[in-house]
Structure 1
């Protein structure tokens, strides 16, 4: 190898070494840059994790605080509930004591000289009882009539029969029209085929309608008979029902006036009244209380109940006086709200 060639080879190795050094420098710079970015991102991630942990700890503290507040509120509510129950119990006990004292005072007043007890049952000349009996007579006459529902059922039975008759008339008309076409057309006429179909269908429907009418006729006749009887009863009892309604209005007006005077007066109320209804009307249900009181007064005057303790007297015999027995049970249920 000549000296010239050796020189060229040395230069070539030198260039390669320089290139490798530059590549190494570039790689190191890129590696340092990438490592720096990774370090920065890792730092950001660590900060984010720390913030999330802080938030988590804050949320946990808030949750713990809310849970504590909730428990405190629950304990406070339970304590107030206990206090309220104790207060209600004390009020009920006080009310019982007050009622006992009032009863004792009332007994004392009743025994006192000159004490006057209102007679809510007085009926001079039997006028109030006459009104009560008129009311009962009107109600009995009204009960003997068919109800609106019963009248509707009867009318439905009649309507079904009438509709079946109308359907039969329509089918028969179709049969006649089709028969007329068949009688007036030749075998090849286009109208004949349609008429044959209508004739066959209408004849079958007419047969079904005829069978249905047979089943409905007896039911409709019975319904018409019941309607006629009900109309006759209504016409016959109309005056009695109307008189009963007028009597009810007059009776309640008179009894209401009597009760109002008794409640606002200074005389004592009867024992049967205060036992069943209390000494006065409750403030929130005064009208309901008053209506019940009037019902009881009307019952007593109508059925001549004079029992000094029992508001309704003895229970009537249901077989001998079914209407009175039913009214007795109804009023007994109503009095459960007030006694």
Structure 2
């Protein structure tokens, strides 16, 4: 007798209980396997997290190190900047003291017996002034002409008008061709529908083009008149402009030679020159300095400025001599870099 019989259970019920036990054993083994797998994955995750935490701590240490290095570099740069500013201030102070000493030495030399001051304004026979006046006349003639930009604007107005006329001619040609097709074909002809569409569209565009031409015609006529007037002025003033350009070259060559001799010689420079430009050219901007000095010399010989202290003399009247006043103001701005 089986154990189940002793419990009062039948054979069928015993088999079912055995099957349930086997299912329970299988389920428990599956649970154990799943738990084991989960614990293994959890262990892997914990290892990954720990590795990431280690990397984060390492990155934090590197960041802290970089931040410290950056702060140190910043402090070093600021210290060097302060040192550089102090050095520049000291150099400026030294230069100012040197300039004062040079000025005092110059005054002493000027008072000494036999001291010679270079005459940069000398113009025997007025030849240099003649060159200068020719330059001024040429520049005035050039200023009376339209600039390249202004001429381009005028030409653009004329071009727009010409393009509008060409477009209108094209639309009218399309209208004529379409009308010819409509006049020579019967209803139902496959060419007729296309011709009707072309006629309608071209006729509308021609109407718009005609209205546009009406607006552009007056503008183009005015532009052509301005172009013609400018062309006439150019032809009339061509010789004056060319003479002025040659005179400018000759004037600058002579003044540069005179200034070079004065700078390399032993005689004293005029007070007006050293006051405005200093005793010599700065090493790094020598060419700019020379250009400004030449323009000042040209201004003085052209307008016969003889002021012993002021490089440009007194300010001219803008209403009576507008071009000279413009040059005066321009040179005055340039001299701010050197005086």
Normalized against structure 1, the TM-score is what? 0.79
| Residues 229/71 of structure 1: CA separation in 2 closer, same or farther (3 Å cut) | closer
Match in the other structure for 1:330: 330
Match in the other structure for 1:279: 279
Q: Shift in Å at residue 76 of structure 1?
A: 5.0
Q: Shift in Å at residue 78 of structure 1?
A: 4.5
Q: Shift in Å at residue 119 of structure 1?
A: 0.6
Match in the other structure for 1:208: 208
CA distance in 1, matches of 2:133, 2:211: 52
CA distance in 2, matches of 1:64, 1:186: 92
- Map of 1:5-44 to 2, 5 A cutoff? none
CA distance in 1, matches of 2:204, 2:72: 84
CA distance in 1, matches of 2:184, 2:258: 90
Name the SS for the 1:320 alignment partner: coil
Name the SS for the 1:269 alignment partner: coil
Q: Shift in Å at residue 96 of structure 1?
A: 1.5
Structure 2 unaligned residues grouped into runs of 5+ = 1-42
Q: Shift in Å at residue 83 of structure 1?
A: 3.7
Match in the other structure for 1:166: 166
CA distance in 2, matches of 1:293, 1:129: 17
CA distance in 2, matches of 1:235, 1:128: 27
Count of matched residue positions in the alignment of Structure 1 and Structure 2 = 292
| Residues 214/103 of structure 1: CA separation in 2 closer, same or farther (3 Å cut) | same
Residue 303 in 1 paired to residue 303 in 2? yes
CA distance in 2, matches of 1:141, 1:159: 28
CA distance in 2, matches of 1:67, 1:247: 66
Q: CA RMSD in A?
A: 2.7
Residue 114 in 1 paired to residue 114 in 2? yes
- When structure 1 is superposed on structure 2, of 167-176 and 265-274 the one drifting more is 167-176
CA distance in 2, matches of 1:331, 1:149: 26
Residue 265 in 1 paired to residue 265 in 2? yes
CA distance in 2, matches of 1:332, 1:318: 15
Name the SS for the 1:304 alignment partner: coil
| Residues 184/101 of structure 1: CA separation in 2 closer, same or farther (3 Å cut) | same
Normalized against structure 2, the TM-score is what? 0.79
- Map of 1:22-101 to 2, 5 A cutoff? 77-101=77-101
